[in-house]
Amino acid sequence: MKNGLIERLQKVIPVEWLNDWERDEIFSHLTYHEPLVEKAVIEQLGIIWPISSALCFYFLDHLKNGLACLSTEQLPDWVKGILDVYEADGLQAARRYMDDVEGNFLCRIRGEKGLTLAEIIPKLLPYIRGLSRKTLDLQPSASLHTDTNTLFLPREITSPANLSHNFYIYKLLASFLWAGIEQDIYCQQQTDPETLENFILSFEDQKLAMACYHLLQTVRVADFLKAYLPGLIRDGQTFFRRLRKEADLTDISPETGDGFAAVRSWLLAHCANDPLPELSGETESIIRKVVASDTHHKEVFAATTNFYERVRCHQEDFTLPCPLFFQGELRPQEARMARLSRREEHKQQFIKALAAVIPSRSAATQTEAEPAEKNQAHEVSESGASVSPMHQDGKKEKPEEDRQDDPRYICLDDEHLELPEELRHVAREIEDDLGAVPSFYIASASQMAGGRGRASGINLQPEEGLPLHGGLLYDEWDFRRCGFRKNWCSLIEKRIVPAKGTFVSHTMEKYRGQILQLKRQFEMMRTQQRFVKRQKDGDDIDLDALTEAYADVRAGLVPSERLFVRLQRDERDIAALFLVDMSSSTEGWVGTALKESLVLLSEALHSLGDRYAIYGFSGMRRSRSEIFHVKDFTEPYSEEIKGRIAAISPMDYTRMGPPIRHFTMVLKDVDARVRLLIILTDGKPEDYDDYKGEYAIEDTRHALIEAKAAGIHPFCISIDKEAQDYLGHIFGEINYTFINDVKKLPLRVPEIYRTLTS
C-alpha cells in the first residue's frame, strides 16, 4: 500500500525533493482517502509543490475541510483559485482563502459574486472622507490594516448574504480602521512616535502583548463607535451575534474562560447589544478603565500590562486566537513611517507657504538686518521664545474646547501675521501631530523669505545679454525690483500638424454616454429662453409697463416707450480661451487626460455655441517661449481641429507669463461681454533658466493681474497634488480649482466651465 503510494507520488514530485519527514507528513494526510480521491489529490500536489512547498502542506491541512464540501472534479478549480490568491497576496491570504471554501469558492461558481473593493471605492471613498474630514485613501490588500494615511481593505468580500450586506461589511471595516486612527490607538497624537513600539518591546512575549493591547483598544474603539455612529453598530447586530457564536464565545463564565475570551465575548456582546457576559471582577475593571470616556493612552498601557499578566498567569501555554474579523492587524511600524513622511510633507508645505506670505522686506533693510536675523533664527530654534505660534486670543496654548478652530495667527518678530486659509489648515495638522508648530519651522520660513533676494539671487541673476528682438516680445515682472524687465521674453507661435490616428474617436467612444449627457446639459444652457420686459417692440404687450406708462401719463409725466415683452434666447456672449500646459511633465496620463478633456469640452461647447479657442504653451528659456495654435475663435470645430488636439504632445517647460500676456492682448480685441482665460496645467510655472520658485510665481501672478485689469477673467484648473499652497496666491482664492484624480479631469473640465458661466 505504502509502496504504491510512493510510486504514485514520485511521478508528480521527484523523490529527491522530499525529505523523510515531509514524505511522512504527506502520507499521513493521504492514507485516509479513497483511491480515486487520492489520485486527484496527488495530481494537485504536483501542481502546488513546485510553486510553494509550504502552501502544499497548508493545502493538505485544509484538504479534509475542502473535500467535505467539494467533489473530486471541483478540486482542480479550487486549487487554481488557491494559487491565484497565493500569487496575488501571499501565503496567509491563500490560507484564509482555503479556510472558507463555501464563501470563497462555492458561492462564486454558483454565480454568487462577491463585492470587490474596486467596485465600491467611488462610494466608500466619499463616505470615509466625509467621516474623517481628511484625505484618507483606500487600497486593496491581503490583510486589513492601516498606516494612518491609507486604509487597506480586503480585495473582495464574499459572504453568503446579498451584496448590500457585503457593502455594509466594507463600511464597517473602514469605519473601524478610521475610528482606530481617530481614537489614536497608534499613539500618534503624542509627541514621541515610538511610545507604542517601545511599550510593546518591554514585554517578554511581545506577540501576546500586542494582541492584548489591540484587543483592549478594539474594545475602546467599538465603544466609541457605538456612541458616535450608533446606526452603524446597530445595523451590524446580527453580524456581531453570528461572529460571537462562531467563535464559541457565547457561554463564558467568570470561572472558566481565560481573560482573553472573556473580553472578546464582552466586546461582541456589547456591539450586538446582547446581555453582557458575567466577568470576573478583575477583567471587568480592566474593561471599565479602557472604555472610560477620557481614557489616556497611559491608562490603556497600564490596563494592557494588567491584562497581559492575567492572561499569562492564567494559562502558561496560552495560544493566541486569530484576531476578530473586523479588528484587522495592528502595524505600529507602518503607522510610524507614514506619520514621519506626513510630518516631513507638512513641514515642507508649511515652510514654503509661510515663506510666501511673510512680507518681503526691502533690499536695503534686508542687508542690514541679515546678521541679526540669522542670529535670531538660530536663537529661536533653541529657545523657541520670540517666534511662536499664536492664536487669535493671544494665548499660546489652545484651550481644549477650542480645538475646532485652526490657528489663525503667527507671531513673528512681535508682528502678528494672519495666516491664509490653506496655511491654517496645514498648521492645524502640524499641531495635531506635534502639539504645536515648532519654532524652527517658522524660523526657516522667515529665513527663506528674508533671504529671498540674496540667496535665490545667485541663481536668479538674469542671463547677461541684450533684450531680444524677433518674435513677439513681452515684458516680465521681477518681483525683487518691483518692476518689469523690458522686452524680456520672445514668444513664437507655432502650428500643430494634425495627427492622423484614433485618439479622438477612441475618446468619443470611451465617453460616449457622458458626451451625450454633456451635450444635453450644454444645449439646455443654450436654449435658455426668457421674456424680456420693457422692450420697444416685441411679441406681446408688457402689461406692467403699460399700466405704469398710463399712470405716468395721468400723473403728468412723459410715459416710457418700452411697452412690449419679447421672448429672447439668452445671449451667451462669452468668449473662452483655453490655454493648455504642454510641458514635459504632462507626459503620459496627465497629457492624455488633458487631451481627452479638450475633446469633451469641444463637443460640449460645439453644442452650446460659445466662442472658444484652444492654444498650447511651452518653451525653453526666455528666448523661446512657444505657443501652439490648436483652434482660434473663428475656426469651426472640424476634423482638422480634432487632429490637432490629438497631436498635442509634451514639449519643454512651463513659462506661464509670456503666453498669458500674449492672450491677454488677443482676448482684449475679442468683442464679448465675458472673456475667459482658462488655464489647464499640472504644476507650477517653471523654466529651464532662472524662471523658478518665487520669481516664476510672482511673474505669473502679475501677468494675471494684468489680464484682470484688461477685463479678462482668468481661471485655473490644476492637477498638481501640491496645488493648494500657491494657486490661491497666483489666481486669487476663488479663481482656481484643483482636481486630485487625473481620471476625473475630462469630465470635470466641461462641468467647471458650465458652473463658471451660468
Partner 1 sequence: MQIAGQKIEEHLIHERPFYLPQKNEIIIAEAAYKNGIPLLLKGPTGSGKSRFMQFLAWKLKRPLITVSCHDDLSTSDLVGRYLIRGGETLWMDGPMTLAVRHGAICYLDEVVEARKDTTVVIHPLADDRRELAIEKRGELLTAPPEFMLAVSYNPGYQSILKDMKQSTRQRFIALELGYPPADLETEIVSHESGIEKQLARLLVRIAEMTRGLKDSGLQEGASTRLLVHAGLLIKDGIEPREACRVTITQALTDDRKLLYAIDEMISSVL
DSSP string, 360-416: PPPHHHHHHHHHHHHHHHHHHHHH--SSEEE-TTS-SSPPGGGTTSPP-EEEETTEE
C-alpha cell at 169: 461589511
Between 230 and 435, name the residue whose CB sits nearer to partner 1. Answer: 230
Q: How far is the CB of 225 from partner 1 (least distance, A)?
A: 9
Q: How far is the CB of 716 from partner 1 (least distance, A)?
A: 12
| Strand order, beta sheet including 611-620 | 472-478, 483-495, 624-631, 611-620, 574-581, 674-681, 712-718, 736-738
C-alpha cell at 259: 481573560
Among residues 547, 567, 609, 711, the one that binds partner 1 under rule CB under 8 A: 547
Among residues 135, 206, 237, 341, the one that binds partner 1 under rule CB under 8 A: 135
Between 35 and 231, name the residue whose CB sits nearer to partner 1. Answer: 231
- Residue 232 touches partner 1, criterion: CB under 8 A: yes
- Residue 710 touches partner 1, criterion: CB under 8 A: no
- Residue 235 touches partner 1, criterion: CB under 8 A: yes
Q: How far is the CB of 408 from partner 1 (least distance, A)?
A: 13
Between 281 and 556, name the residue whose CB sits nearer to partner 1. Answer: 556
- Residue 756 touches partner 1, criterion: CB under 8 A: yes
Distance in angstroms (rounded) separating the CA atoms of residues 599 and 647: 12
Choices 77-85, 128-136, 244-252, 276-284; region in contact with partner 1 by CB under 8 A: 128-136
Among residues 91, 125, 369, 436, the one that binds partner 1 under rule CB under 8 A: 125
Neighbours of 371 (CB within 10 A): 9
Would you state the torsion angle of the CA atoms of residues 361, 364, 369, 370, taken in this order, to the nearest 10 degrees? 90
Element (H, E) at 506: helix 503-510
Among residues 362, 404, 461, 634, the one that binds partner 1 under rule CB under 8 A: 404
Distance in angstroms (rounded) separating the CA atoms of residues 11 and 3: 13
681 three-class SS: strand
Task: Locate all alpha helices (DSSP H) within 110-162, ordered by sequence.
Answer: 117-132
Between 122 and 470, name the residue whose CB sits nearer to partner 1. Answer: 122
Residues in region 52-71 near partner 1 by CB under 8 A: none
Choices 224-232, 239-247, 299-307, 333-341; region in contact with partner 1 by CB under 8 A: 224-232
Choices 101-109, 124-132, 264-272, 609-617; region in contact with partner 1 by CB under 8 A: 124-132
Distance in angstroms (rounded) separating the CA atoms of residues 466 and 481: 18
Distance in angstroms (rounded) separating the CA atoms of residues 745 and 595: 10
Q: How far is the CB of 632 from partner 1 (least distance, A)?
A: 22
- Residue 133 touches partner 1, criterion: CB under 8 A: yes
Nearest to 742 by CA among 515, 580, 588, 600: 588
Q: How far is the CB of 734 from partner 1 (least distance, A)?
A: 5
- Residue 456 touches partner 1, criterion: CB under 8 A: no
- Residue 527 touches partner 1, criterion: CB under 8 A: no
- Residue 394 touches partner 1, criterion: CB under 8 A: no
CA distances from 639 to 110, 617, 636 (A): 50, 22, 10
Number of alpha helices (DSSP H) and beta strands (DSSP E) in the chain? 32, 19
Residues in region 161-220 near partner 1 by CB under 8 A: 171, 175
- Residue 554 touches partner 1, criterion: CB under 8 A: yes
Among residues 47, 163, 229, 508, the one that binds partner 1 under rule CB under 8 A: 229
- Residue 674 touches partner 1, criterion: CB under 8 A: yes
Q: How far is the CB of 595 from partner 1 (least distance, A)?
A: 22
- Residue 562 touches partner 1, criterion: CB under 8 A: no
**Residue 215 φ then ψ, to 5°:** -65, -45
- Residue 409 touches partner 1, criterion: CB under 8 A: no
DSSP letter at 463 equals P
Choices 231-239, 242-250, 429-437, 596-604; region in contact with partner 1 by CB under 8 A: 231-239
- Residue 231 touches partner 1, criterion: CB under 8 A: yes
- Residue 129 touches partner 1, criterion: CB under 8 A: yes
- Residue 432 touches partner 1, criterion: CB under 8 A: no
Neighbours of 136 (CB within 10 A): 19
Distance in angstroms (rounded) separating the CA atoms of residues 277 and 283: 11
Expressed in angstroms, the distance from the first to the final Cα of the chain is 85
- Residue 758 touches partner 1, criterion: CB under 8 A: yes
C-alpha cell at 398: 489652545
Q: How far is the CB of 171 from partner 1 (least distance, A)?
A: 6
Q: How far is the CB of 41 from partner 1 (least distance, A)?
A: 45
In one letter, which amino acid is 24?
Answer: D
Among residues 139, 713, 722, 729, the one that binds partner 1 under rule CB under 8 A: 713
- Residue 123 touches partner 1, criterion: CB under 8 A: yes
In this structure, is the dihedral angle defined by the CA atoms of residues 247, 154, 82 and 27, taken in order, positive or negative? negative
Among residues 550, 589, 665, 668, the one that binds partner 1 under rule CB under 8 A: 550
Q: What angle do CA 231, 232, 237 make, to 5 degrees?
A: 95
Task: Locate all alpha helices (DSSP H) within 511-619, ordered by sequence.
Answer: 512-526, 543-554, 589-608
- Residue 672 touches partner 1, criterion: CB under 8 A: no
- Residue 557 touches partner 1, criterion: CB under 8 A: yes
Choices 199-207, 248-256, 514-522, 750-758; region in contact with partner 1 by CB under 8 A: 750-758
33 three-class SS: coil
Distance in angstroms (rounded) separating the CA atoms of residues 70 and 105: 10
Choices 1-9, 123-131, 309-317, 422-430; region in contact with partner 1 by CB under 8 A: 123-131
DSSP string, 470-489: SSEEEEEEETTTTEEEEEEE
Between 66 and 236, name the residue whose CB sits nearer to partner 1. Answer: 236
Distance in angstroms (rounded) separating the CA atoms of residues 136 and 179: 12
Between 173 and 200, name the residue whose CB sits nearer to partner 1. Answer: 173
Distance in angstroms (rounded) separating the CA atoms of residues 315 and 311: 6
Among residues 150, 305, 514, 757, the one that binds partner 1 under rule CB under 8 A: 757
Residues binding partner 1: what is the number (CB under 8 A)? 42
Task: Locate all alpha helices (DSSP H) within 609-723, ordered by sequence.
Answer: 639-647, 657-668, 693-709
Q: How far is the CB of 394 from partner 1 (least distance, A)?
A: 16
Among residues 76, 160, 230, 609, the one that binds partner 1 under rule CB under 8 A: 230
- Residue 299 touches partner 1, criterion: CB under 8 A: no
Nearest to 547 by CA among 556, 559, 537: 559
Rg over CA atoms, the chain: 34
- Residue 359 touches partner 1, criterion: CB under 8 A: no
Residues in the chain: 758
- Residue 399 touches partner 1, criterion: CB under 8 A: no
- Residue 551 touches partner 1, criterion: CB under 8 A: yes
By the criterion CB under 8 A, which residues form the site for partner 1? 122-127, 129-133, 135, 171, 175, 228-232, 235, 404, 533-534, 547-548, 550-552, 554-555, 557, 674, 676, 713, 715, 734, 737, 740, 755-758
